[in-house]
Amino acid sequence: MKEPILTPEAARVLNFVGLLCLIGVLVGAYIYQFSYRELPCTRCLLQRLAMLGLAFGAALNLTFGPQPRYYGLCLVSAVFGLGVAVRQTLLHINPYFDTDTGQPTLEVTTNPPFGSPVFGLDLYVWGVVVFATAILAIGIALMFRGQFEPVEEEPEWFGRLAAIAGILLLAMASVETISTLLECGLGDCPNDGSWNWWAFH
């Protein structure tokens, strides 16, 4: 029998690499956030949520073996995140939308980018790149059905990888939840880069 191009083991490793990349992007966003004292807006937080969904799907593929439904979770998260990132990008280049008030206008306005650029691109533009790349990578991975074949005996290092992935993902999700509650409270998030600090009122 011909050996599949993408084995279940190789697919798990690729999912682990993708998971680490997503966690790296989220950690980088936090470093950027506190270094420049620029808090994420509502759409930025939604993109972070989509990245967590992507990471969760990859973690499921790593823990339980690659499955189409786990890739489906990744795709749904990536499409959602791409939609939010594209909308935010368009809002900042639309001369008839005032990003300060969040309302359309009949007069031509200049919408400055939200936050400082990274390597020449704004963070929401990087969001478009990340989510589009994820959709492309997942689509290519789904072409190889050999990864969905059952594995008779799993190496022990898969368990260690899954444990590391689970701890990292849980820590990142916890940090995201706590920081969002501190910033937004139980209401709408401020879009002017300020803290509500509702817990300390």
Question: Residue 130: what pLDDT?
Answer: 93
Give the residue ranges of the chain where pLDDT is below 70: 1-4, 95-103, 106, 108-117, 152, 187-188, 190-201
CB 97, CB 48: distance < 8 Å: no
Q: Domains in the chain, start-ordered, CATH in brackets?
A: 14-200 (1.20.1550)
User: Quick check: helix, strand or coil at residue 103?
Assistant: strand
Structure tokens at 111: 């919408």
CB 29, CB 124: distance < 8 Å: no
Polymer length in residues for the chain: 201
**Separation of CA 110 from chain center:** 28
Question: Residue 197: what pLDDT?
Answer: 46
104 forms beta bridges with 97
CA 132 – CA 135 distance, rounded (Å): 5
Main-chain dihedrals φ then ψ at residue 112, nearest 5 degrees: -65, 150
Question: Residue 85: what pLDDT?
Answer: 92
Question: Residue 200: what pLDDT?
Answer: 42
pLDDT digits (tens, 9 = 90+) for 9-39: 888 889 989 998 998 888 888 887 777 777 7
Query: Measured at the alpha carbon of residue 194, what is the angle toward residues 190 and 199, in degrees to the nearest 5?
Result: 85
CA 166 – CA 175 distance, rounded (Å): 14
